[in-house]
Each structure stands twice: as C-alpha cells, then as structure tokens.
A = this chain, B = another copy of it.
Amino acid sequence: MDRNIQVSRLDRQAVEDQEVEIVERKGIGHPDSICDGVAESVSRALSQLYLDRVGKVLHYNTDETQLVAGRAAPAYGGGEVVEPIYLLIVGRATKQYDGQQLPVDSTALAAARDYLTEAIPELEYGTDVIVDVKLGEGSGDLQDVFGEETQQVPMANDTSFGVGHAPLTETETIVSEAERELNTTYHDEHPELGPDVKIMGKREGDRIDITVAAAMVDRHVDGLDDYDDAVSDVREFVTELAESHTDRAVSVDVNTADDYDEGSVYLTVTGTSAEQGDDGSVGRGNRANGLITPNRPMSMEATSGKNPVNHIGKIYNLLSTRIAESVTDEVDGIRDLQVRLLSQIGRPIDEPHVADAQIVTTDGVDLADIEDDVLAIVDEELADVTDITRSVIDGDVSTF
C-alpha cells in the first residue's frame, strides 16, 4: 500500500520563536472538562460493554454531554450545595443486537458516576449533581464493527481532518504541567485545592505570564488568612514549576479577581465553578492534546465521547499528535512540527487522503536530511492506527 504522505517545510516561524504566544488549559474540574471527561468515560464504558457482550464495538457516539450549573453557598470550614448541578448525557447508542438488549443507559450512568466520584471527589453523586441520560437509538445500518475477529481496518465515517504538533513550547509545557501537577502531587498534600484549575499562559518575547484561577474547597479553609496562604502556596508551586522549564522571566498570578476587602474570593464547596453558575459542554474546552493553542491550527471537532473505531474526528486528532510526538522523539533537528491528516469518507482509516508533516528545522538542519526518517515514522504510525482505538478503550490516551 502506498500512503499519500507529504513532508514539507512549515512556512512560518516556530511558535517558540513568535513574538506573542497564548496557551490555555482548563483543568479537569472545569465545567467543560467535566463534560469532556464524562463523555469520554461513557464512551469507554460503552466500547467495553459491546466488546464484552457481542465481541465487537457497535455504533455509538456520546460526544454531547451538557452541564447546567448549580448554586452553592460556600463558607469557611464547609458550606453546601443549594441547587444541584444537572448533567445530561446525550448521544446515540445501539441498544439491541441479535435479539439481546444492551444496558447502555445504566452503563452510561455508572460510568459517569465513577468518573465524577474520582475526578470531583467533593461532589456527591445524586444529591450535589443529578445525572440524566438521553441516548437515542443509532440507525441500525451504521453499526460499525471492531473486535477480535475483525482484522481489517475500518472505513472513515466522514471527510474530516486532524491536526497535531510537537514538541511543546516552553509556555505550553508549563501550562500543561502546572495543571497536571496541581491536580495530582500538589493536591495530595493540599486538599484545599479543588480540581477546577484554569491556567492561561501568555508569552510576550521572553516574558511568560501565567494566570491561574484555582477553586479552593471551603471545608479545608478556615478563614481569609488561610485562604490567602492557599493562594500563595499555589503561586509558589507554579512559579517553581515554571522556572524549571524555562530560563525566561516568569510571573505567576493566582485568583486575580479576588477582592479581599469585599470578602469576594474563589471559595467553593466542591472544588468546581459548576456549582455556582458556570455551565459546561463537550468540545468547548481543551483540544485533543489537552491545550488550547490559538497560535496553531486547531480542529473544532470534539474528541471526547466519539467512538474510537471509525470516528475520524477523534482518531485523526489523537493520531496526528502521536505521530508528531514520535517523530520529534526519534528524529533530531526539529524545532516545530505540525502533522495534518485528512480523511476521505469510506476509505480505510490507515489510508488518509493526505498525511502532511510540516517542519521547522533547527538551525543548521536541512529538511532533506531528515525527510526520509520522518516519512518512515509517519508511515509506521498510520499502519498502527487501530492501536489508537485500543489505547482509547483502555483509557491510556487522554482526549482533553
């Protein structure tokens, strides 16, 4: 098979070298990310249900979860949710196969419950949040198959494209790492930090400004002094983390909208702004690589919740990022790499209409020197496309 792979020079400066760069990441507790996370958990649970029951993945898509914010009355030492969050799981799923009824609604709810309990532990399922589900029946003749016995590669469900890049710039690295560390290692020792951490990075020349909006959990905060300490701790942690990734000047602001005199601070009961007025939706936040990067081409496709078998909007966004990472891992001399995959409806997904690797080389490196290596890696990754599907179902790949 001859894949249509093109390697060319990227006709702009590397983002790292541009004058102004903006990067954003919405943490896992942000209302949009909650929707992404639930949608993807439901997707994985349905894939697994289908594999367990009928040996292959049947037609479904669950990429439309909607969150309606609640109301809360936070208070130092512990407040309460007054009006629960309402979360509606939306999508299509195959509910019958070969005379067998498949518990897609119950499976979706259980997946949502398990995900929410882990991701937003302070949010009590069923009282602080109501989860409802509207999964329509998919049209039967679109039932796509994936399973042990199916060796062939699925066909693309649409004409669409995916885009990925590598390596991350310093600012991207800082934004990405800061959120992940705050929500893991930092959180382990600082239970007052909730999972709704939103990080905006702005670089102008050699100055990087990091703005963090961090929801604090009221029952772990005794008063304003305590709150102020919590904010300072976050600032210090992020500053240190940032400085370990760059030699540029770094400044970090946390919860800039606070007004201590007015007693107006970012205090929450559950650690997410969804408890108080912030609605959310799938596909409105982070792109497939976990970042929002307006300096770069982005796909509008929601990656979370789509079936990972033949939904090109999901597969090609994840795959293009994986390709970019593999190439930059294995090939030296690349300062910026952008990979685009364009599908053609009805064609096998390992044969994109065009796979396009655009490169800014480092000083002194000629594109021609690395072109063959790049091409080989792209080809190899495309051949392994179904590996993405398996990784997604196993939960080894993050989609937001």
Contacts of A187 in B (CB 8 A): none
Partner of A131, one of B70, B126, B128, B283: B126
Contacts A13-B11, A20-B356; A82 near B103 (Cβ below 8 A): yes
Contacts of A283 in B (CB 8 A): 281, 283-284
Partner of A69, one of B136, B159, B302: B136
Contacts of A256 in B (CB 8 A): 159, 345
| A84 at interface, CB cutoff 8 A | yes
Asked if A130 and B130 sit within 8 Å, CB to CB, the answer is yes
Return the chain B residue nearest A300 by Cβ.
B292
Number of interface residues, chain A, beta carbon within 8 A: 83
Q: C-beta contact mask, A127-156 vs B, less than 8 Å → 1, else 0? A: 110111110111100000000000000000
Q: C-beta contact mask, A91-124 vs B, less than 8 Å → 1, else 0? A: 1100100000111011001100100000000000
Give the number of copies in the complex: 4
Partner of A71, one of B101, B202, B345: B101
Asked if B8 and A19 sit within 8 Å, CB to CB, the answer is yes
- Give the most central of A95, A257, A277: most B CB within 10 Å: A277
- For this complex, 8 residue pairs linking A to B, each with C-beta atoms less than 8 Å apart, are A20-B340, A66-B66, A126-B131, A136-B277, A281-B281, A285-B300, A294-B340, A298-B298
**8 A-B pairs closest in CB distance:** A12-B12, A66-B66, A109-B127, A126-B126, A64-B279, A82-B103, A294-B297, A110-B127
